[in-house]
Amino acid sequence: MMVMEKGIDSAFEAVPVVETGTLGKAIAVLELVSTAQTPLRFTEILALSGQPRGTLHRQLSHLVGEGLLSLGSDLRYEPGMRLLKLASNAWAKNQFRTVAEPHLKRLHDRTGETVHLGVLHGREIIYLDKVESRQAVRMNSQIGNASPVYCTGVGKAALSVLPEDRLADLVGQLSFQAYTPNTHLSAAALMDELLAVRLAGYAFDREEHESGIRCVAAPIYAQRHGVVAGVSVTGPAYRVSMEQLELWAASVCDAARAIEQEVDVRLGPGR
């Protein structure tokens, strides 16, 4: 469940923009630059976005002018300071993260390993919070990064609580990529595991997203507030056995249930 996202520029495969409207296309460019592993040149953004040269030039100029992107002396684009400020404010004011925070810390106290809180966003899991391991070797995960739902513990836990129609629709949209030899590569294999996750109440990442990294995760489903999420304990395989993860599963589930209950109490009746 380690949040090591593949940089867009390292793959350098064209990703056509499907959003409609000027704002949607500009946001797609902003996301492309912001999620790239290294700053991108104009020609790289042009190849990745599939947008016309003139349109892309105007969008980049506007984004730089608004401080959402910055253009370095080497003519490479990267996230601007205004974007970082907006992200910081959004993180600090996120009510769900605030409610979950003390429960994440208690789970960390019980296990000593890295604890993550992630929410379902489309076909990805976005990590809202992290409590770092006390051990010398730690995770390289970052708050705000995204990971696929089908090969992460939090992702599979979140999928397990979706209504059948929504789950079928989402799984049908997935494009499976082999991150490790253990990654699910078909909808059928994923659905088989999700059945087991539903029965157990928790999910594992058995070195599926990154070799050498394991986790156990439990779903958080606050339906009235539209929250589908998960909490996990993650550690390196040499230090955390599958047997140890099984022992931690009850604590992870307890943390997830406590977060659900507090969301209902502190965030009110919802919609």
Place of tokens 């998960």: 230
Cβ partners under 8 Å of residue 210, min gap 6: 2, 4, 179, 180
Measured between alpha carbons, how far is 205 from 180 in angstroms, rounded to an integer? 11
Closest CA to 208 of 239, 246, 231, 242: 242
Q: Where in the chain is the domain with CATH 1.10.10.10?
A: 8-80
Q: What is the mean pLDDT of each run of 10 residues along the chain (271 residues)?
A: 36 40 85 87 91 91 91 90 73 77 95 94 91 69 84 97 94 94 95 96 96 96 86 94 97 96 74 48
Fold of 94-266: Beta-Lactamase (3.30.450)
Q: Which two tokens stand for residue 33?
A: 């630059």
DSSP assignment of 197-250: HHHHS-EEEESSSSTTEEEEEEEEEEGGGTEEEEEEEEEETTT--HHHHHHHHH
CATH 3.30.450.40 in the chain, residue ranges = 94-266
One CATH from 3.90.1640.10, 1.20.140.10, 3.40.50.2300, 1.10.10.10 for 8-80: 1.10.10.10
Q: From CA 213, how far away is CA 1, in angstroms rounded?
A: 7
**What per-residue confidence (pLDDT) applies to 91?**
61
Question: Residue 134's pLDDT is what?
Answer: 75
> Which pLDDT score is estimated for 8?
30
The pLDDT value given to residue 104:
96
CA–CA dist 231, 117 (Å, integer): 5
